Amino acid sequence: MSKFSEWFHNILIEAEIIDTRYPIKGMHVWLPQGFQIRKNALKLLKSILDEDHEEVLFPLLIPEDELAKEAIHVKGFEEEVYWITHGGLTPLGKKLALRPTSETAMYPMFALWVRSHQDLPLRFYQVVNTFRYETKHTRPLIRVREITTFKEAHTVHATSQEAEEQVERAVEIYSSFFDLMGIPYVVTRRPDWDKFPGADYTMAFDTLLPDGKTLQIGTVHNLGQTFAQTFQITYETEDGQHEYVYQTCYGLSDRIIASIIGVHGDEGGLSLPPAVAPYQVVIVPIIFKEGAQEVLDFCSQVKNQLSRAGIRVHLDSRDLRAGKKFYEWEMRGVPLRIEIGPREIREGKMVLKRRDTPDKETVECREDELAELVEDRLGRISSHLKEKAWNMLQENMKETDSPLEARDIIQEDGGVVSFLWCGDEACGKELEEQVHVDILGIQEDADGTCVNCKQKARYRALLARTY
Ligand code: A5A
Ligand code: MG
Ligand code: ZN
């Protein structure tokens, strides 16, 4: 196990994110701290999606014949589907699949809903659990068999151009969502042999974890008319013709939480972006034998002020040493700590300690300016975490013109390596094998010679060791 995997597993337990002891491989229990982070992240995501998407909720189970209808799609998922074969003791006439994703649950219904061009476009999303019998090594939040936080959006359009625009829009949506949490990413178009089963093409977001491996944290698929033809999703045009629709879908998972933890965390534990932190601020009273009540009362006033301003704040009034509280809240990643003792009250000051920087700061605590001051510090923390994380990604992106050098870079430093590539599948797979990495995807058209086969290069492509 790498140092990072060990850190990651330990912090999940210590910070009470999830309990990994549930007796089914790849399935875990969300604990209150983890659940809060998840809830806050979903709230941000939904507030962006709700601008022009509608939230729906489809059944978990998919009849076998519907799942099997789209040949390429079912081929892609056949090894990962969990089946329900019985209702009680009675064998089912038709097996039911636990959704691995919901195309084949939704699209037969879309065929009923879409009638005329006036019904289009449609933009739906749902946040559900999906099940995939993953055969690669499972890891909490990263590769799970029950994806508990599967956000899938599905859109339907009249024209191919609109579908393409929706793909671009989805890339913007995910970019702004990851930006809110300071998670850096590279966006690429996946190689054809690794696109989503049934898609025309797939765009992927990858972030970099501290061990130098990348994690795919989201994908956007242009489905073209493949599913429309399979499920007979047609609409009537203005002049009475019947045409197949064009579709897109895009998804995120528990990996959102994995990347928040992995990207920003450090030796001290979690370091949470204020946008998702369960508590953005914790107040720790510094208590001596004398004047304890006065300190607590004052802290409680401060708490109320901040809370009224909409800041998620906690007053830790437990009868424990302050040092122990500091340690605990730092490990849990609370972005800002406020320390107030008798001296601070006397001097009209308080001490601020940011989770993301080593120094303490003493500030005046004028009541009318306090919330604003704290908001300002939370803003700085967000920007700093984001900047640090982006720097880390950029420092670990290198260019190469030789497969051997790519291999050395990846082995020694990890990270993302870019190179010129012909785009050919056989060449790409050979490269992946030689260098022991995955091609993340292509980023732009390029001129020159392919790093591997020396034919004409068509793209600049990225490779990395991946989760
Ligand atoms: N219907 C489309 C959106 C879809 O299912 N796309 S997908 O298969 O690419 O999954 C969307 C995202 O879920 C992936 O980009 C990846 O970040 C995440 N994901 C896939 N399998 C996962 C697993 N076993 N555990 C955690 N996350 C997973
Ligand atoms: Mg898979
Ligand atoms: Zn080549």
Structure tokens at 356: 């993301």
Domains assigned to the chain: 4-264 (3.30.930.10), 281-377 (3.40.50.800), 399-464 (3.30.110.30)
pLDDT, mean over the chain: 97
Structure tokens at 165: 């625009």
In the chain, count H helices and then E strands.
14, 23
3-class SS of residue 65? helix
Give the nearest ligand 1 atom to 250 CA: 3
Which has the closest alpha carbon to 151: 223, 255, 225?
255
Give the nearest ligand 1 atom to 205 CA: 15
- C-alpha 212/C-alpha 204 separation (Å) is 18
- Residue identifier of the C-alpha nearest atom 23 of ligand 1: 143
Kind of pairing, strands 214-224 and 246-252? antiparallel
CA 328 / ligand 3 centre spacing (Å): 52
- Residue identifier of the C-alpha nearest atom 6 of ligand 1: 251
Q: Are 15 and 334 in contact (CB under 8 A)?
A: no
- C-alpha 459/C-alpha 438 separation (Å) is 16
CA 136 / ligand 2 centre spacing (Å): 9
Residues lining ligand 1, Cβ inside 6 A: 101, 132, 134, 143-144, 147, 152, 196, 216-219, 221, 249-251, 253-255
Best mutation site among 151, 188, 255 for ligand 1 pocket (most ligand atoms within 8 Å of CB): 255
Best mutation site among 216, 247, 254, 259 for ligand 1 pocket (most ligand atoms within 8 Å of CB): 216
CA 456 / ligand 3 centre spacing (Å): 8
- C-alpha 398/C-alpha 208 separation (Å) is 13
Q: Taking the model in full, what pTM does it have?
A: 0.97
CB-based neighbours (< 5 A) of ligand 3, an ion: 422, 427, 450, 452-453
- Residue identifier of the C-alpha nearest atom 10 of ligand 1: 251
CA 101 / ligand 2 centre spacing (Å): 11
Which has the closest alpha carbon to 181: 126, 125, 262, 124?
262
- C-alpha 8/C-alpha 2 separation (Å) is 10
Query: Which ligand is closest to the CA of 429, given by its number?
Result: 3
Q: What is the DSSP string of 225-249?
A: THHHHHHT-EEE-TTS-EEE-EEEE
- For 194, counting Cβ atoms within 10 Å of its Cβ (0-12 exposed, 13-18 middle, 19+ buried), the class is middle
Q: Are 332 and 314 in contact (CB under 8 A)?
A: no
CA 305 / ligand 1 centre spacing (Å): 42
Which has the closest alpha carbon to 216: 194, 199, 201?
194
- Residue identifier of the C-alpha nearest atom 11 of ligand 1: 251
C-beta atoms surrounding 164 within 10 Å? 17
Q: The dihedral of CA 380, 386, 391, 392: what is its sign?
A: positive
- C-alpha 363/C-alpha 97 separation (Å) is 59
CA 313 / ligand 2 centre spacing (Å): 39
Give the nearest ligand 1 atom to 251 CA: 3
- C-alpha 455/C-alpha 427 separation (Å) is 10
Which has the closest alpha carbon to 126: 101, 156, 145, 158?
101
State the virtual CA torsion across 48, 54, 58, 63 in degrees, nearest 10: -100
CA 26 / ligand 1 centre spacing (Å): 14
Per-residue pLDDT of the chain (467 residues; tens, 9 = 90+): 689 999 999 999 999 999 999 999 999 999 999 999 999 999 999 999 999 999 999 999 999 999 999 999 999 999 999 999 999 999 999 999 999 999 999 999 999 999 999 999 999 999 999 999 999 999 999 999 999 999 999 999 999 999 999 999 999 999 999 999 999 999 999 999 999 999 999 999 999 999 999 999 999 999 999 999 999 999 999 999 999 999 999 999 999 999 999 999 999 999 999 999 999 999 999 999 888 999 999 999 999 999 999 999 999 999 999 999 999 999 999 999 999 999 999 999 999 999 999 999 999 988 789 999 999 999 999 999 999 999 999 999 999 999 999 999 999 999 999 999 999 999 999 999 988 999 999 999 999 999 999 999 999 999 999 99
3-class SS of residue 185? coil
Structure tokens at 422: 């012909």
Structure tokens at 459: 């793209």
pLDDT tens-place string over residues 134-170: 999 999 999 999 999 999 999 999 999 999 999 999 9
CA 145 / ligand 2 centre spacing (Å): 10
Query: Which ligand is closest to the CA of 131, given by its number?
Result: 1
Please enumerate in sequence order all residues whose Cβ is within 8 A of that of 87, keeping only pairs 6 or more positions apart, or say none: none
Radius of gyration of the chain (CA): 25
Query: Which ligand is closest to the CA of 249, given by its number?
Result: 1
- C-alpha 29/C-alpha 284 separation (Å) is 30
CA 458 / ligand 3 centre spacing (Å): 9
